Amino acid sequence: MAKQGQSARASGDEAAGVAPSSALPLAELFRQKRREAGLSQQELAERCGVKQSAISGFERHGSAAQALSVEKLRQVADLLGIVVDEAQVKARPHAARLALFYCPDPDCPSTHVYPLGAQTAYRPRFVRAEAEVPFHCPDCGEICEKRCPECGTPISERLRGAFCSDCGKPLVAGDRLTAAAIAEREVCRAALTAAIPAVEFRHGREGGGAGGD
């Protein structure tokens, strides 16, 4: 009788569109129930108010994709008739908020110095790191900044240079240098670039290392 009762409950769950959380990985369960409901990824995304890429990312990589917030994950699960264990939700990795940082030290060897008319411009190297965690320049140890020192505007993802895209003030303030001094600085920077390519660096959460994007 006990087995019959368990079988009946299982059949009832299947009829209601609810599968045990241990039966399939959550990402596969989402894909299965979406297809059974006759919904495309785009249609499901529109009903839940998320992007199609978020649904696609979750179905392909699960929680590791960090594509859906906890609230949206529950919303999609409810729409598909899936019961999500609280442990599955809490196990999702933390998505760190990132920001662009730069070294404000004009003497930092990673800073590109070049003549600009009658003045000297200092273009810093930009590093993407956790916004809430203090970040130290890997080349000189200075505490890095993520905003314009003049107007406080955050560094733009698209417009990165020696000057703030909002107020036009230099991000790094330095002395006017002679052509010979600029050439000497460029030799040092080129040597550093040859050792570690001075492209955009990303500072990871784990290990504390920087790696080229």
Co-location of 77 and 138 in the same domain: no
Query: pTM of this prediction?
Result: 0.52
Residue 162 reports pLDDT greater than 90: yes
How remote is the C-alpha of 200 from its chain's centroid?
A: 14
Could you give the number of structural domains in the chain?
Answer: 2
User: pLDDT tens, 29-80?
Assistant: 889 999 999 999 999 989 988 888 888 888 887 776 667 778 888 888 889 9
Q: Is 23 or 116 the better-scoring residue by pLDDT?
A: 116
User: pLDDT tens, 17-34?
Assistant: 334 444 578 888 889 999
Q: What is the mean pLDDT of residues 104-122?
A: 94
Which among 68, 90, 112 is the end of a domain? 90
Query: Which stretch of DSSP H or E encloses residue 160?
Result: none
Largest CA distance in the chain: 93
Co-location of 64 and 136 in the same domain: no
Cβ neighbors of 110 (< 8 A, separation 6 or more) are 103, 124, 125, 137, 139, 140, 189, 192, 198
pLDDT of res. 66: 67
Residue at token pair 């569109």 = 17
Co-location of 122 and 179 in the same domain: yes
Residue 149 lies in a domain: yes
Residue 208 lies in a domain: no
Co-location of 36 and 104 in the same domain: no
Which among 52, 67, 90 is the end of a domain? 90
Residue 15 reports pLDDT greater than 50: no
The tokens for 191 are 């040597």
| Mean pLDDT of all residues belonging to the chain | 79
* CA dihedral over 174, 180, 182, 188, signed as positive or negative: negative
Q: Can you give the residue range of the structural domain that contains 128?
A: 98-203
Is 159 buried (19+), middle (13-18) or exposed (0-12) by CB count in 10 A? exposed
pLDDT of res. 72: 85
Q: What is the mean pLDDT of residues 4-11?
A: 42
Co-location of 132 and 166 in the same domain: yes
Residue 172 reports pLDDT greater than 90: yes
Q: What is the mean pLDDT of residues 200-207?
A: 46
pLDDT of res. 12: 40
Residue 152 lies in a domain: yes
